[in-house]
Every structure is written in C-alpha cells, then in structure tokens.
Amino acid sequence: MRARSMLERRHMRDRSLFILASAALLFPLLLIGCPQGAGEERFVDDDAGDGGDAGDATADEEGGTAPDASDPISSGALCGVNGQDQCGPFMTCSPTLGCVECAADEDCPAAARFCLQGQCVGCRPSAPLVDGGASDCPPGHACSSADFECHASCADTGGCADALRCDEPSGACVGCLAPADCPSSLCSTKTRLCVECESDDACSGQRPRCRLLTSTCVACLSNDDCGLSAPVCDPLTFSCRVGCFSDRQCPGQQCDLGTATCVALPDPTTDAGQ
C-alpha cells in the first residue's frame, strides 16, 4: 500500500509538471496570435469613431452645423455664388478663370486643339516661334487675333482686316504689337489684343479686381471683396449685392447657399405631416 501511494504521488507530480510545461510553451503563441495592445487599440478607435458619428448626427438633427449654413469653404464667385461650382455640363471650373471649356490643351478636340484663356481655339497668336519659325499654323500661315484661326500670313498691315496690325516677323494679324498700340489699356501677351487688365495692378477705384477670363476690371471676385451691406459677389455681374452666405444673416429665415438669398424656414406642420 505504501509503495502504491508513493507511485500515485509521483504520477500526480509528473502530470503537474507536464501541464506546467505545456502552458509555458503555449503562452508565447497566445501572445503572438492575439496581442493585448492591438486589441485594446482597436476597441478605443471603434468607440471614438462611433462617438464622432453620433455627435455629428446629433448636431445636424438639432440644427447645428449643417442647417446653420456656416461660411462656405470658398467665398469665390468665379464659378458660382458662394464659392460653388455652378458651371454646368461641358464646362470646367478653373480656379483662376472661372467657368471655361478647357483647362489645358488635352481638353480640346482635334479641330481646335489649343486651350487659350479657357477657350479651345485653332491657334495661339502669342505662341513662341520655334524650329526655325514654326508656330501653331502651317507654313505660309499665321494665327490671327481676330478669330484665333490660321490665315495666310500678312506682309504689311494692309493685309489685315478688322483694324488689326501685321506682325511682320510672324505674319500674324494681331490687335497690338506693343503697349504703345493700346494708349488707354494693355497689350495682352496671350491674345495680342488691347485689354483692360491682366492683373489687379491695372485696376483701381470701384473696380479693383481683374477678371482674367475677360481681362476686365470688376468690383469683386469673391465675397471677401464685398462689405457688410452687400456681402455677396454676384457670379454674373461680378458686383457686390445684397444676399447671404450664413443663416446668421437671415433673422427668422435661413440662407439658401445655392442662390445666396434668404428664404423662409420650412413649415414644421408640413414636416410633421410627412
């Protein structure tokens, strides 16, 4: 009996040692398969994300950020009111020119493959002469500022129509050859026409900004150019007008950012009925 008892105790001791050894081997594997730090990090991130979404939804439902029509990302008027892109189909919004049909030559068809001031044209009268006198036009032809198409090269001003001048080195009929040809304006380096401005430096007074698309001086290019009494820059006239870009400017009403006008608040009884 005593021998049997000793064997049983030895067997139990060996079994305990085996269990401890197995646990020691498995423990590192468990750590690798499920790292404690990574599990905790994912749990915190998920909670933070859910909390943020819930907070945003609550703010919108309670008339916070979204219904308040806070200031738009951009206050520009080149492409639409309140910095919006309202150019419509087949047009693109250029951050410097406004609504145009092209931003680069790649946007133009083969028949009018050059992009000049946002317009697809057949040639550019200001294109630099390269390759021994080659330009956008074939030999014997030059680009006219009248329509930005290739025409037979001129030899003197008499060969140009529409009061254009002959640029004899290139054979192009252009609106101006030098600043002296535009006594009350500027000679555009791009279109070679007399224009009012090519930058704000040429504008002043009540029209201090240069609208590059038309090369004309205007009152504003963005809401930032306007005052409190007429805070909105109109994208059609580029003049400051009465309007809004925030609900705070419409007491008892709300601001329609798409038109920059104050409109009536939704009828709560109608909403409740729906």
- Which of the residue ranges 118-127, 160-169, 230-239 has the most confident prediction, judged by mean pLDDT? 230-239
Using alpha carbons, list the distances in angstroms from residue 91 to 48, 108, 119, 143. Answer: 41, 12, 10, 25
* 219 falls within a domain: yes
Q: What's the pLDDT score for residue 45?
A: 34
* 40 falls within a domain: no
Domain count, the chain: 1
93-114 mean pLDDT: 94
* 80 falls within a domain: yes
Q: pTM value?
A: 0.65
40-60 mean pLDDT: 34
- E-strand ranges in 102-211 read 114-116, 119-121, 141-143, 150-152, 165-167, 172-174, 186-187, 194-195, 209-211
* 272 falls within a domain: yes
Residue 45 and residue 37: Cα distance in Å, rounded?
Answer: 12
Residue 30 and residue 223: Cα distance in Å, rounded?
Answer: 62
Bigger pLDDT: 158 or 73?
158
Residue 187 and residue 176: Cα distance in Å, rounded?
Answer: 6
Provide φ and ψ at 32, rounded to 5°: -70, -40
- Which of the residue ranges 62-76, 196-210, 256-270 has the most confident prediction, judged by mean pLDDT? 196-210
214-243 mean pLDDT: 95
pLDDT band at 74 (very low <50, low <70, confident <90, very high): low
Q: For a pLDDT cut of 90, what percent of the chain falls above it?
A: 53
Locus of tokens 């189909």 = 89
Q: What's the pLDDT score for residue 69?
A: 46
Domain holding 267, by residue range, is: 68-88+196-274
> Which contiguous run of DSSP H or E holds residue 174?
strand 172-174
* 235 falls within a domain: yes
Q: What's the pLDDT score for residue 163?
A: 84
Provide φ and ψ at 37, rounded to 5°: -60, -45
* 207 falls within a domain: yes
pLDDT band at 273 (very low <50, low <70, confident <90, very high): low
The token pair at 56 is 């945003």
* 242 falls within a domain: yes
* 228 falls within a domain: yes
